[in-house]
A and B are shown apart, each in its own frame.
Chain A
Amino acid sequence: MQAQAEAEKARAASIEKQAMQAQLQLLQAQIEPHMLFNTLANLQGLISVDAPRAQHMLDQLILYLRATLSSSRAEKTTLSHEFSLMEAYLDLMSVRMGKRLSFTLQLPHALEDVLIPPMLLQPLIENAIKHGLEPKIDGGHIDVRATLEQGMLRLSIADTGLGLGVSPARGTQVGLANVRERLLALYGTSASLLLLANPSDGTIAQLDLPS
């Protein structure tokens, strides 16, 4: 009995540790100074030519920073919150990239309140930008959607970027490894993350979670 409780406690501690590590790594990976200063430079430029757009961009930056930096992150968050966070990030990126970036976010009404661990999707969407679309001269499109597939919650991020293994900005894979570790800790083997070649150019990151 006691041994079982101990094991359970250790498991919980391990999950917590991984979540903290994930958050730390996200902090380091996400709020790259490069991203922050470029966004600020865009704001500087927009203020004088398009004040309402600058205001909107500032709001999105605040949302993004608050969500990313928040030290009291809940263990679970709603899909609609995660989608609004991704929208904030993609909004910022589309000001920066101009017509090189377009995106669609599709979250069915019925799935809005589904709970998922925070910051699982964010590294995937940032990979799509950083390795897929940013280095591609013509840019492209990102499609993010949530669906139910045979009782599983499927979250997919499809980009039309450079594609697997082509990006010059080779990642350290820390982001992906981290997502995989967290999935394993939280769901065991019942969750999965797949990276697939997008038939229409680019990459699809497909995350399946038990619903």
Chain B
Amino acid sequence: MSTEKTEALVIRLADWSESSKVVTLFSSDFGKLAAVAKGAKRLKSAFESALDLLTICNIVLIRKSSGGLDILTEAKLQKRFTARHGSLESLYAGYYLAELLDSLTELDDPHPDLYSEALKSLDRFAGDGPLELAVLRWELVLLEEIGQLPMLEGCADCGRPVAPDIWFDFSVGHGGLICPDCHPEADHARHIQPGTLAILNQLLTGQEAAWQRLVVSAPQQRELRRIMTPTICHVLGKRPKMMGYLKFMNP
């Protein structure tokens, strides 16, 4: 058993006995961690008010080598997630981030870049920029980080690159975009517009200042969700609970 210190984001809490909690954290150094915080519900504990959903804390924990739960011995609050004033969507976006982090990452699998992106995403969810794009950016970066990003630069079957004069379809089963040659029976009404693909590309690789200025039309928003929603559901193996709460995901 070794004692470790790291910074972590609280992504799940469950009551355990009268005064303790089981906490799932996503940390910068160790990835996802599950630990028992004994006495966490008491006001005068070593955790004070740090153990709340989506708080960022500096933690001290005793790692268990036997595969059991770690023991959290200290948590100091660094920052609390505060949703946009009066916005449930902003709050639910934060919950959605926690749900995906908990469901799509493995214990003891560090992803420091993903941790950094999660904190930036929470800031974006709490800020003034377009929430739909901030959530989409989070989904894209998460999928890329865990190696599940669908092929968006060209046909997933033949590799034919995206071109403005060719309309591609999207298929989760094929792993991304499908060109008309590989999928001739496709419904033309369901083709993905080149502008929609450009938005995805900009979100994934562009500068934040640039994609924050993007203006997304309602049809583009529908197309973006037509790509991302089934992809997330496919990777997760079920529909995330929070998708039903985020109105823009159900256009």
Q: Do A and B bind each other?
A: no
Residues of A within 8 A of B (CB): none
Residues of B within 8 A of A (CB): none
